[in-house]
Structure 1
Amino acid sequence: MSTPYRFPDYQVAGDADTTVFLLHGAYGSKDYFREEIQTLVRAGLRVVAWDAPGYGISPLPPEGLSIERLAETAACLIDREGSKTNIVLGHSMGGIITPAVYAARPDKVHGIVISATAGSFSQKSAQDQETFLAERVEPLRAGNTFRDTAGAVIDSMFAPTSRGPMVDLVREVALSTPADTFCAAITAITRYQGEPNMRNVKVPALLLAGEFDQVGRPQSMQSVQQQFMPHADFVCLPDAAHYAFAEQHALFNEQVLRFIRERVLAQA
C-alpha cells in the first residue's frame, strides 16, 4: 500500500447517506466544481470535494506526486468522510486516480464515475502522447508563464459552442493552477500504468466522454470500456469536449444521477 500524502484540504456539502467524492483534474482545484456540488446536493446527495495535494490550499509534497499516493490519500479521505454508500467521481486526472482509489478501498467504494480520460497514459497513441507533453510541459520548461502557456491549451479543451458562467469559472480556476504542481501532476500521469486497476473494478462504473474531447477521446474511452470494464456504462455527451460537467451541465448530471439511482443504489 502506498504511503498517503498530508491529509488534503476539502469541502463537505449536503447531508445524506450517499456521498459523492469529487476528484478534479490536473488543471484547477475543487473550486471549478462549484455548480456541480450544488447540483448534486440539491438532488439529495452529500458531496466531498478535495484540493488534491499541490492544488488549491493543499501544499505540494516536496517529493512531487504519484498517482498511487494520490489514490491512497483519497482513500484516507473516504475513511474519514465516507457514508453508507460512496461514489468516486473523477474528472481527467481525477478519473485516472479513481480506479486506484477503488483498488485501495474496495469495501468502501460502491460505484465510480470516470469523466474525460482514458485512464492510463499508455492508452494514448504515440502521437497523442507527444502532443500532450509538447503542449503542456515544453513551454514551461522554456521559461514561459503558466497562464500564458495554459490559456490556449485550456481553450482548446472546450467545444466550439461552449459558453457561459460555468465555462468561464472552469477556465479561470484552471489558469490558477501552480506551475510546479502542474508539472508534478503531468509527470505522475505519464509514469502511471492504470490498466490493472481498471481491469479489477468490480463495482458499477460510468464512463462519460465529451463528443469533441481531444484529451479523453470518446473512442479511447469506449475502448477502455470494451477492454477493461465491459460491465461499465459508456455515454458520449453531445456538444461538449473535455469539461462536459460545465459545458453540458444538465446532460452530464442527468447521466450521473441516473447511474447513481439505477446502477449503484439499486444494488445497495
Structure 2
Amino acid sequence: MKRLLLSAMLATLPLTAHAADPVREPYGIGLEGFAYPYPVQMLPVVNEGEPLKMAYMDIKSAKPNGRTVVLLHGRNFPSSYWAPVIGVLSEAGYRVVVPDQIGFGKSSKPSGELHFDNLARNTIALMDHLVIPQFDVVAHSLGGMLAVRLARAYPDHIDHLLLAAPIGLEDYRLYVPPTPTEKIIETEDKLTADGYRKQLEVNYAMKLQPDQVTPLIDARFNIKGAADYPRWLHAFVSSSQMIYREPVALEVPLIAQPTLFVMGGDDFNAPGKPLAPEVLRPKMGQNADLAKAAAAKMPKARVEVLPDAGHLVFLDAAPKFNELMLAFLSATAK
C-alpha cells in the first residue's frame, strides 16, 4: 500500500521545469543527451528481482602499469565529473573503471529502494565481468560510504582506498529526525537550478569556475522535462534515505586496507543538517576532524587536509590532490 501511495504521488508531480528555471532542452533520465568524456557501456544486473543496467566507462592506459583504479561518484554528480582524475590516472599507467551506480547518471533508475549492499554487489559484478580481481578505489562523497561497505564486504579485492571528502563519517541519525520520503520528494521537486547552484556554493564550499559548474547543473535539471522524471526523482530521494538509514561510521575504523583521507579544509557538508535542531547543527559536518578521529583507530590510515578546498576537493585543489593520489597509489600494494 505504501508503494502504491508513493507511486500515485510521483505520478502527479509536474513534468516541466519550474517558472524560475530557464527553458531547458530535456535529457532522458538516463542522461540521454548529456555527453560523457569516454564511451559508456552497460552491464545487466538484477537488484531486488528487477532487471537493470549499470553504466560504466572503462579507460585503458596507453602505457599500462598493470593496475586498475575504480572511481566511485557522489550523490549529486554524474560520474563524468571524474574526467580530470581519469586523465591523470590514465597518463600514469592505470586502467580506470568508472561506474554510474544504479539510480545515478546513465544507469537504470529502479522502482525499488537503493541499498549500499546492492551497490557494492553490483560493483563487484562489474569487476568480475571485466576480469579484474584486484583494484584500488578512489571515492568521493556518497561514494566514500559505498567504498567503506565495499572494503568491508570484499576486502580481498581492494589494495588501496582513497576517500576524497567522504560523507558518512558520522551517524546523521544522531542529529537529524527521520524525514518522510514524501516530504523530501516535495522539497527536491521544488528546487530550482539557481537554488541548486547556491547549495553547491554554501553546502559544498564550491570553488569551481562557471564552465565546471554548468554541466553539473545541466545534468541535474535538464531531466525535469523527461516523461519519466518522477522515476528519477524517486531514485534520487531513495539515495538520500539510504545515506540516513544505512550509516557506515562504525565500520570505518574496521577497514584494514591502506587508506588515505583527502579532506577539504572548508568542507563542512553534512546531509540533513538544515533539518537538525539548530543547537545541534554546529556539531555536524566537522569532516576533517572526523577523518582524523577515524584514521587514528585504523591500522593503515592517514589524513591530508587541503586548505581552501571544499567538498569537491579533487577539483578545487586538483594539483595537490593528484600529487597525493599518485604517491599513495604507487605505494606497495598488499
Give the TM-score normalised by the residue count of structure 2.
0.68
- Go from structure 1 to structure 2 and tell me whether the alpha carbon gap of 1:145 and 1:159 turns closer, same or farther (over 3 Å shift): closer
Determine if the alignment matches structure 1 residue 101 to structure 2 residue 150. yes
What runs of 5+ residues in structure 2 fail to find an aligned partner? 1-44, 224-231, 270-284
From 106, 123, 141, give the equivalent of 2:186: 141
Partner letter of residue 33 of structure 1?
A: W
Render the CA deviation track for 1:109-161: whole Å, top value 9, x for unaligned: 111111112435516862xx46xx79xx9564245146455332122244365
- The corresponding residue for 2:139 is 90
Partner letter of residue 233 of structure 2?
A: A
Q: How does 1:41-120 map to 2 (within 5 A)?
A: 41-81=90-130, 83=132, 85-120=134-169
From 308, 311, 317, give the equivalent of 1:239: 308
Partner letter of residue 323 of structure 2?
A: E
- The corresponding residue for 2:246 is 192
C-alpha RMSD of the superposition: 3.0
Of residues 82-91 and 103-112 in structure 1, the stretch that sits farther from structure 2 once superposed is 82-91
Q: How far is the alpha carbon of 1:62 from its aligned partner?
A: 1.3
Cα distance in 2 between the residues matched to 1:62 and 1:213: 33
Of residues 18-27 and 156-165 in structure 1, the stretch that sits farther from structure 2 once superposed is 156-165
Cα distance in 2 between the residues matched to 1:95 and 1:221: 12
From 266, 285, 288, give the equivalent of 1:212: 266
SS state of the match for residue 56, structure 2? strand
Higher helix share: 1
Cα distance in 1 between the residues matched to 2:262 and 2:183: 29
Partner letter of residue 68 of structure 2?
A: T
Determine if the alignment matches structure 1 residue 182 to structure 2 residue 252. no
Of residues 201-210 and 155-164 in structure 1, the stretch that sits farther from structure 2 once superposed is 155-164
SS state of the match for residue 90, structure 2? helix
Q: How far is the alpha carbon of 1:195 from its aligned partner?
A: 3.6
SS state of the match for residue 95, structure 1? helix
- The corresponding residue for 1:260 is 329
Partner letter of residue 220 of structure 1?
A: L
- The corresponding residue for 1:32 is 81
- The corresponding residue for 2:42 is none
Please say if residues 71 and 98 of structure 2, whose CA atoms lie closer than 8 Å, have aligned partners that are also in contact. Answer: yes
Please say if residues 75 and 239 of structure 2, whose CA atoms lie closer than 8 Å, have aligned partners that are also in contact. Answer: yes
Give the TM-score normalised by the residue count of structure 1.
0.83
Q: How far is the alpha carbon of 1:193 from its aligned partner?
A: 2.6
Cα distance in 2 between the residues matched to 1:224 and 1:176: 39
Determine if the alignment matches structure 1 residue 225 to structure 2 residue 274. no
Please say if residues 96 and 194 of structure 1, whose CA atoms lie closer than 8 Å, have aligned partners that are also in contact. Answer: yes
Partner letter of residue 296 of structure 2?
A: Q
